[in-house]
Amino acid sequence: MKNTFKKLLPFAVVGVLSGATTVGALQYFDHSSNNEDRSYFTSSSNASFVGMNTGMVGDDFVKAAKTTVPAVVTIKNYQTRTTSRASEQDLFDFFFGDPFGGRGQQRQRQQQTPDNMPSGMGSGVIISPDGYIISNNHVVAGANKLEVVLSNKKSYIATLVGTDPNTDISLLKIEEKGLPYLNFANSDNIEVGQWVLAVGNPLGLNSTVTAGIVSAKGRGIGILGSQGKATNPIESFIQTDAAINPGNSGGALVNANGDLIGINSAIQSTTGYYQGYGFAIPSNLARKIIEDIKKFGIVQRGFLGVSSLDLANDQQVAAYNKQYKTNIKGGSGVYVIDLSENSGAEDAGIKKGDIITKIDNGAVTDFADLSMLIGSKRPGDKVQVTYLRNGKENTVSVTLKDQKGGTSTRTKADLSVTEKIGSEFSPLNDRFKTEYGLNSGVIAKNVMEGGEMAKIGIVDNYIIIEINGKPVNSQKDVENILNKYQGNVQVKFVDDYGRIYTKGFKMP
């Protein structure tokens, strides 16, 4: 008995003294989207408590820590936040941690960060010896310069290869060879109760290692969609009780062998700091996203083409029944409430009222399962969809499509102008032009996080007056000017205080 207690004691101490790893903070917002493959609601799930697993008491974390620490880097995000709203600044601090110690205080709207000071700091993981680094999208968002600092203090300016707000993944590259890196593990094989290490740079504390267990799998907490940055979020997080804190987003979640099983991304907290529940993006999903970015330049996303109700969420079911005067019963699975025209699901004969229970060999108990199983596929992939109709089980083969109905992969060259620059535009009415003395203008809409327009400070409802010196009055004007254009783009725009800016970017 005494020997067993002595073996357990170090892990108990690690659990008590654990100091940190990740970033984002879970906030509760009611949210719904008009896009395909969505849940009727996106809401945060209550975390469950999992008892301590003693199956791996004999394992030594020192080897895993020695493997992981050299491959985890600090990422410094430099930007001039001249057009940031106070609420956006607060959220930025919530994700990164404020390096200036002013978190939670009201900022002036036009506050600028000095050029030699980062606006925020996060973490990243080296995944190849030639300098590819995976991190979170929110760690690199809005940056005009990204600095990567290795655990040995060597510093590099990184190139942002690509991002995906829907999974909160980004891919960076530094020019170096022979770097330490982590191998991807199969995140489908992890088990609840399994010991894990979280490694990163929380609260400015470099190379911090904490330990815990996998508390749950397949968590959908609503953070990606609720922040308004992801149009079709995929959330199927690994939940862990390893201590994580702001500033460590993009850090590594590894198993006892030091293999990468997740990218730390969010915490559930009422204070913004560690309260026991952290969430990591599964390595299988992260690997698929970066493979797409490296190979195609953009993420290849397959869609089933359904709008759905998560039967596992009693609150969602009750709210839906109240709003639509229905009597749908809660339980396990995803209830189809609508289908997109000419979608793969419609082509395969799936109908409203069907309950999806399985994709290929993966059980669909809730929307997070469906999101992960479909979201990790590409257009043209075929999946076996098992569903219940009037209590009878059926299985059909569905060919997934992209949001434009295509079944083939696309590259950046195939993107429209608005997709390339990350914004859509609507006309500005003549009355507004007259009142504000404008001769031209379009309103920016659906500005994409990490897109070229967002990088120069444009947000929804800003007015674009000219592009490359030419007045614009419609989205077609923008497309005509930039279609097949290569080189630097000059954008003249007005913020919602009426101030006029001229900024630019290189056409992707």
Is 138 an annotated catalytic residue?
yes
DSSP string, 202-242: GGG-SSEEEEEEEEEEEE--SHHHHTT--SS----EEEE-S
Is 31 an annotated catalytic residue?
no
Q: Identify the active-site residue in 138, 310, 369, 376.
A: 138
Compute the half-sphere exposure of residue 180: CA atoms within 13 Å on the CB side of its CA.
Answer: 15
Compute the half-sphere exposure of residue 159: CA atoms within 13 Å on the CB side of its CA.
Answer: 8
Q: Please report, for residues 73, 121, 236, 281, 311, the alpha-carbon distance to residue 180 in angstroms, rounded to integers and kept in the order given.
A: 11, 21, 28, 22, 44
Is 369 an annotated catalytic residue?
no
SS3 assignment, position 140: helix
Q: How far apart are CA 340 and CA 308, in angstroms?
A: 11
Q: How far apart are CA 478 and CA 471, in angstroms?
A: 9
What residue type is 159 in one-letter code?
T
Question: Beta strands 260-268 and 24-25: pairing type?
Answer: parallel
Q: Within 10 A of 28 (CB to CB), how many other CB atoms are there?
A: 12
Q: Which of 496, 493, 494 is nearest to 504 (CA)?
A: 493
What residue type is 59 in one-letter code?
D
Q: Give strand pairing partners of 294.
A: none
Kindly state the tokens that stand for 274.
């560690």
Q: Identify the active-site residue in 43, 119, 249, 308.
A: 249
Q: Please report, for residues 44, 168, 313, 374, the alpha-carbon distance to residue 232 in angstroms, rounded to integers and kept in the order given.
A: 16, 11, 19, 12
The torsion angle over the Cα atoms of residues 135, 217, 368 and 19, rounded to 10 degrees, is -40
Q: Which of 386, 388, 422 is nearest to 304 (CA)?
A: 386
Q: Identify the active-site residue in 93, 98, 168, 292.
A: 168
Kindly state the tokens that stand for 113.
């960060």
Q: Which residues are catalytic?
A: 138, 168, 249
